[in-house]
Structure 1
Amino acid sequence: MILLFCGVLCVWVGTVAAAWSTTIGVVLPGSSLVFYQTMIRGIERAASDQHVQLLMRNPSDGASLETPNLQRHIIDYLVQQGVAGIVLAPEPLQGASTASISVPIVLVDRASADYKSLSTVSTDNFEAGRIAAQSLLPVLRKGAKVAVLRLAPNIRSTSERENGFLSVARKEQWDVVVDSYVGYRPRDAEGLIANALNSYTGHLDAVFAPAEPIAYGALRVVEAKAIGDRPRLVVFDWRPEFMTGLKRGVIYADVVQDPYRMGYLAVEALVGALHGHPVLSTVFVDVVTVTPNNIHDPAIRAVLATYAH
């Protein structure tokens, strides 16, 4: 009996060791934004639950936009290190057709035509942009003066959000008087946001900021205005500062993604595929709209609790 137990134990230990010997690579666009910090926590939790190791290499935020094909070089390095597959939040490639990667890829946060992937786990960004605009329907009328602050023309996720918002603006016949790219670095964005909003000399009724760095800059710019001159600010993503902005009424609504769940599901899909299980080609993770009125709802608090602190 003791020998039988030892035999079973040795088989079990050997199985666990074999499972943990699998390493998957992870490449995100950066790691300093709260959004990516939270996604990394989801990725790490899934790796632990799936008994795989991670080899994560993230450029500094924005570096892969400034250095052509930086992510592709990182991917090549991970493949050389023997990863079994890669979870990738892709930045656009320059001067290249669809990249040929020798290991399976699951995309997270955004789709891309630059890489052949098994699955894409993300927000339905066009619909989320529509949801952001629809939050304003009770308070804006035809002819309302609206500003859309854009991130960058070649980032698919934010472009889809911006276009989703604008689709509702056109339908409702709002007057989009500011439609400007303000960049992806929070410190630079704040000055560009102030310039963009101040370029319209009349009163703005609403401002849409479709990503964390823009949202943070827009919050600071709008909060600096006199109370009677503040537009309704609709932001995207989450930072601790946004809680204060909501409570003080500076933020009208915040469309919050669930990057923790995105990261978790992306790893889960990749590991499943490595074990021969079918995966969905597209997985959309729901957003929640946070307002001063619902900020204490259990469902809202559950999503916010997943964010890195």
Structure 2
Amino acid sequence: GKPIDEAATNVKIIGIDSGADSKAFTSFLTTDNIQGGRVAADGLAAAIGEANGGKIEGDVALITALPGAGSLEQRAQGFKEQLAAKYPGLKLVADKYADGQATTGLNIATDLITANPNLKGIFASNLIMAQGVGQAIAENSLAGKVGLVGFDSDEKLIKFLNDGVISALVVQDPYRMGYDGIKTALAASKGEKVEANVDTGANLVTKANMKDPKIDALLNPKLD
């Protein structure tokens, strides 16, 4: 917006994570959320295949925390595009919006499970929705039967992953955003050329790879 545009007349502006209505950024570091949605679709398809003898087919659902949030809309776009392009056996039977509350995510997921006996998987596209949907899967004893891919991580989601309630998490790299953001700001201040847009990555985390050093560092960043 205007404050960024005005500031950019005097200093280099480096953006991190959340976008703003301005073209004045010297560099912008963020997750490619469309790619994040694609990664989620791949993770959900893999989980469904694993649970169904290699067959990637059945009904799936998408639950988004709020309408109109740019990053969430991009994740939904990537997810739906990847389903259409790669997984003809998976049918998106529900594309639901919540109100940002985990309990609403729980209630939506419970209703979907009841209404769709062929439901094989759900993508909950942010942390809060993954908490609520994970709770629904746990309460209905559907771990390993209905796949769940969430986005981002906290202690609760990591426990769900370890317990098999969550099949996979798409995890961003906020440490890299901050670290590389400072490096980029320093380089730009010296007049060095910097990348206009930097994708800081969307990583698929499963129970199988969660102990890998690179993945563990994303789940448990060392901040000292």
TM-score where L is the length of structure 2: 0.82
Q: Structure 1: which amino acid aligns with 2:64?
A: R
Runs of 5+ in structure 1 lacking a partner? 1-71, 77-98
Higher relative contact order (CA 8 A, sep 6+): 2
Q: Structure 2: which amino acid aligns with 1:170?
A: A
Partner residue in 1 for 2:94: 178
Partner residue in 2 for 1:128: 36
Q: CA deviation at 1:288?
A: 2.2
Mark the CA change 1:119 to 1:307 in structure 2 (over 3 Å): closer, same or farther: same
Mark the CA change 1:275 to 1:296 in structure 2 (over 3 Å): closer, same or farther: same
Q: How many residues align?
A: 210
Partner residue in 1 for 2:111: 198
Q: CA deviation at 1:238?
A: 0.9
Q: CA deviation at 1:113?
A: 4.1
Mark the CA change 1:109 to 1:183 in structure 2 (over 3 Å): closer, same or farther: farther
Residue 161 of structure 1 is aligned with which of 63, 75, 78? 75
Aligned-CA RMSD value? 2.5
Specify the SS of the correspondent of 1:279. coil
Partner residue in 1 for 2:216: 301
Q: Structure 2: which amino acid aligns with 1:116?
A: A
- How far apart are the structure 2 equivalents of 1:105 and 1:277? 14
Runs of 5+ in structure 2 lacking a partner? 50-54
Partner residue in 1 for 2:52: none
Mark the CA change 1:246 to 1:189 in structure 2 (over 3 Å): closer, same or farther: closer
**Contact residue 44 and residue 122 of structure 2 kept, 8 A:** no
Residue 25 of structure 2 is aligned with which of 97, 114, 117? 117
Mark the CA change 1:166 to 1:122 in structure 2 (over 3 Å): closer, same or farther: same
- How far apart are the structure 1 equivalents of 2:102 and 2:93? 19
Q: CA deviation at 1:108?
A: 1.3
**Contact residue 124 and residue 151 of structure 2 kept, 8 A:** yes
Q: Structure 2: which amino acid aligns with 1:281?
A: A
Mark the CA change 1:198 to 1:234 in structure 2 (over 3 Å): closer, same or farther: same
Q: Structure 2: which amino acid aligns with 1:291?
A: T
Which structure has the bigger radius of gyration?
1
Q: Structure 2: which amino acid aligns with 1:165?
A: F
Partner residue in 1 for 2:179: 264
- How far apart are the structure 1 equivalents of 2:206 and 2:18? 25
**Contact residue 61 and residue 94 of structure 2 kept, 8 A:** yes
**Contact residue 178 and residue 196 of structure 1 kept, 8 A:** no
- How far apart are the structure 1 equivalents of 2:122 and 2:63? 7
